[in-house]
């Protein structure tokens, strides 16, 4: 595969300019303290779809709770989900635990250092593999995510649609041609850092860019038109009613979501999807709770609304408070817990927001 515009770049000087800038300007991030492949792996999985500032406290806590591959492999799933609570995309951490179990069973607890072996691990795609192999093991493997595609599309003026999976091969090949074999770890991290700090999606800070003199898009004045990325399909809106239901002892009803699908195995407050425009009519909502969930409850007032955006849908949740009006039998999926016991269970962000609304309502 021939990559256009490569012949216009002095690759050695490009590498030096990029890596020198990175070594001067890189952010002080906890996963950069050493090159432990396990820590690099954890950080890269957390950073998928998530901002760096958000990840830092999660990473620190996760490594504190599960400092080694053995600790994570042996951990109870509920504790892992609690450590991940609020980060979203929970399949990431389930796959991570499956993969570290595989590393322990097959590779004596040592993260593999070849592309063939590491990409066989659950949840380790080409990007994560390239990041671990280059950052932790110093191998000249590309680590191409959206950030890197944006940078490379501008540096080389590549007009491939970055939303198309086939385009990744073009960018991976471009990075293979450009990567420093002397310091692939710093090179790949520098590309990522450049995309995060300078070569941003909407307002690239070209005048501050350490590789501006190599950038074909800047030379052509088209940096704001790149990368090419087609729009995703629209998200679907889902209207829900959820309730914080309390028994006579002040315990709160919680429900464990199914073991597959969206937010699998996490805990939630009872909720129903509203199919009709009668969503504001309390009798209708109460009846829906009783018939859909088999609960005998009495709804009180609405204490607020919560919106939560997923990649493919938006939840609009009307939040009620209410009472459980009959004896309730607990099981694996339904529990009554005190406010203090809530700490032991992992809840997705929208339900954490609901609980805050509930606590505020008690103070009013």
Q: Using an 8 Å Cβ cutoff, are 310 and 91 in contact?
A: no
CA distance 194 to 167: 21
* Torsion, Cα of 338, 342, 345, 351 (10° steps): 120
Residue 157 zone, left/alpha/beta (φ > 0; ψ -120 to 50; rest): left
Instruction: Give the catalytic positions in this structure.
Output: 44
In the chain, the domains with their CATH numbers are 6-220 (1.10.340.30), 236-363 (3.90.79.10)
Residue 323 zone, left/alpha/beta (φ > 0; ψ -120 to 50; rest): beta
**What are the residue ranges of helices labelled H in the chain?**
11-25, 37-47, 52-65, 69-74, 77-84, 91-107, 115-118, 126-131, 146-155, 167-178, 184-197, 216-220, 282-293, 349-363
Q: Using an 8 Å Cβ cutoff, are 183 and 192 in contact?
A: no
pLDDT tens for the chain, 364 residues long, are 789 899 999 999 999 999 999 999 999 999 999 999 999 999 999 999 899 999 999 999 999 999 999 999 999 999 999 999 999 899 999 999 999 999 999 999 999 999 999 999 999 999 999 999 999 999 999 999 999 999 999 999 999 999 998 999 999 999 999 999 999 999 999 999 999 999 999 999 999 999 999 999 999 999 999 999 988 778 899 999 999 999 999 999 999 999 989 999 999 999 999 876 544 578 888 888 888 888 788 999 999 999 999 988 999 999 999 999 888 788 999 999 999 999 999 999 999 999 999 999 988 7
CA distance 349 to 307: 10
Q: Using an 8 Å Cβ cutoff, are 288 and 241 in contact?
A: yes
């Amino acid at each position: 595969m021939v990559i256009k515009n490569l012949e216009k770049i002095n690759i050695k000087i490009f590498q030096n300019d990029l890596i020198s800038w990175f070594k001067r300007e890189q952010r002080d991030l906890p996963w950069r303290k050493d090159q432990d492949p396990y820590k690099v792996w954890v950080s890269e999985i957390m950073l998928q779809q998530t901002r760096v500032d958000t990840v830092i406290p999660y990473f620190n806590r996760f490594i504190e709770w599960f400092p080694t591959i053995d600790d994570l492999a042996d951990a109870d799933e509920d504790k892992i989900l609690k450590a991940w609570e609020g980060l979203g995309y929970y399949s990431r951490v389930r796959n991570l635990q499956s993969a570290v179990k595989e590393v322990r069973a097959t590779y004596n607890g040592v993260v593999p250092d070849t592309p063939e072996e590491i990409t066989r691990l659950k949840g380790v795609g080409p990007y994560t593999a390239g990041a671990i192999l280059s950052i932790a093991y110093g191998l000249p493997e590309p680590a191409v995510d959206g950030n890197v595609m944006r940078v490379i599309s501008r540096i080389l003026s590549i007009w491939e649609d970055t939303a198309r999976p086939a385009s990744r091969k073009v960018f991976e090949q471009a990075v293979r041609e450009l990567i420093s074999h002397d310091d692939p770890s710093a090179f790949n991290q520098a590309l990522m850092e450049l995309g995060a700090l300078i070569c941003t999606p909407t307002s690239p800070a070209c005048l501050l860019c350490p590789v501006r003199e190599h950038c074909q898009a800047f030379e052509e004045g088209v940096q704001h038109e790149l990368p090419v990325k087609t729009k995703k399909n629209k998200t679907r809106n889902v209207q829900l009613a959820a309730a914080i239901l309390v028994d006579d002892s002040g315990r709160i009803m919680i429900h464990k979501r199914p073991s597959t699908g969206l937010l699998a195995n996490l805990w939630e407050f009872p909720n129903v999807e509203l199919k009709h425009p009668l969503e504001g009519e309390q009798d209708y909502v109460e009846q829906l709770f009783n018939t859909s969930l088999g609960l005998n409850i009495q709804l009180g007032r609405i204490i607020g609304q919560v919106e939560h955006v997923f990649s493919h849908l938006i939840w609009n949740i009307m939040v009620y408070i209410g009472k459980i009006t009959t004896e309730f039998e607990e099981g694996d999926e339904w529990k009554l817990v005190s406010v203090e016991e809530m700490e032991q269970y992992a809840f997705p962000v929208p339900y954490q927001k609901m609980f805050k609304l509930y606590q505020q309502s008690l103070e009013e």
